[in-house]
Amino acid sequence: MIIEVEDLVKHYGEVKAVDGVSFVVKEGEIFGLLGPNGAGKTTLMEILCCLRRFDSGKATVYGFDLAKDSLKVRASIGFCPQETLLYDLLSVRENFAFSASLYSLDSKKFNERVEFSSKVLGVGEFLNRRVQQLSGGMKRRANLAASIIHDPPIVILDEPTVGFDPNIKREFWELIKNLKHYSKTVLLSTHDMYEADEICDRVAIMNEGKIVALDKPYALKKTIGGDDAIHIRVKDSQTKKAITILKEYKTTVIDSEIQVSAKNPWEVMAEVSNKLVSQGILTEKIEIVEPTLEDVFIKLAGRKLAEES
């Protein structure tokens, strides 16, 4: 295991930010920490990057004990926080050179890594431009490239796409997934369920400092998320009538949509549709929706994951 965390605890005064967390990350996987703001994700990541001390528990990164070998731990990770940590007045290449100097990279290795960043992360087109002249997306790509310029085996990304527009977010997801092909292990935190679902091999769901579930996204959705649901939208004035017609099914109304839970959704969808049409109710939308990690979180924590999600 490339990262092992055992019963880790961290307090901020009376508040338990990380409450007995244990998990392992396998080599070469993309492991996600999913949870709302304040769940303890960032604190946990900062502990693993040796930016914060922990109160009790044990953790090893790349075989090095966090408490004893912090310099070796730091040498084996590339940390990319959600803020862009580049010097605005320097060019991208100069920022890379600064980052490389932190890890004592020789010039040959540095040039190789710049080449890699240009090819894989697409920074070649703006390598010699000052950071202040770059767009938000370019900055984030350069930020990621700078954080892995020393070719670390482990990449730790804290909310890597927060504030991105959907297109850039997707582009960034591809970059992260691409890292896997270069033998990188990725640990990322996010409160975006789609992000966790899309790019993570395994996800640990965190709430109030604890890991409340850990598995592959698909498995989490199947085992905890519940049955598929049929989402139906009718005219507002007909919603009450429609619910009455569908009283034999398990229905809920969320955001003006009637949701019908069903183990065999395709059969039920035909029945529901026929019943509504026969009673003169026309559906504006009817579709089958699989459970999401949001559903998993709601079931586990009794609340929504995040406003943005």
Minimum CB–partner distance for residue 137 and another protein (Å): 19
Beta bridge partners of 77: 154
Any idea what the Cα angle at residue 44 is, between residues 169 and 219, rounded to 5°?
Answer: 60
H-run or E-run covering 265:
helix 265-278
Stretch near another protein under the rule CB under 8 A, chosen from 3-11, 72-80, 221-229, 251-259? 72-80
Binds another protein by CB under 8 A, chosen from 26, 53, 235, 250? 53
By CB under 8 A, tell whether 72 contacts another protein.
yes
Binds another protein by CB under 8 A, chosen from 2, 8, 17, 77? 77
Look up residue 275 and give its two tokens: 């019943």
By CB under 8 A, tell whether 81 contacts another protein.
yes
- Residue 93's SS3 state is helix
Binds another protein by CB under 8 A, chosen from 23, 54, 64, 79? 79
Tell which positions 85-104 bind another protein, by CB under 8 A.
85-87, 99, 102-103
As a whole number of angstroms, the distance between CA 107 and CA 186 comes to 26
Tell which positions 137-176 bind another protein, by CB under 8 A.
146-147
58 vs 3, 47, 64, 68, CA distance in Å? Answer: 11, 11, 11, 11
Instruction: Give the helix, strand, coil percentages of the chain, each rounded to 5.
Output: 40, 30, 35
Instruction: Report the side by side order of strands in the sheet with 154-158.
Output: 77-80, 154-158, 185-190, 30-34, 202-207, 210-215
By CB under 8 A, tell whether 83 contacts another protein.
yes
Stretch near another protein under the rule CB under 8 A, chosen from 29-37, 78-86, 220-228, 282-290? 78-86
Minimum CB–partner distance for residue 79 and another protein (Å): 4
Minimum CB–partner distance for residue 102 and another protein (Å): 4
Q: In the complex, which residues of this chain contact another protein (CB under 8 A)?
A: 49-51, 53, 71-72, 74-75, 77, 79, 81, 83, 85-87, 99, 102-103, 146-147
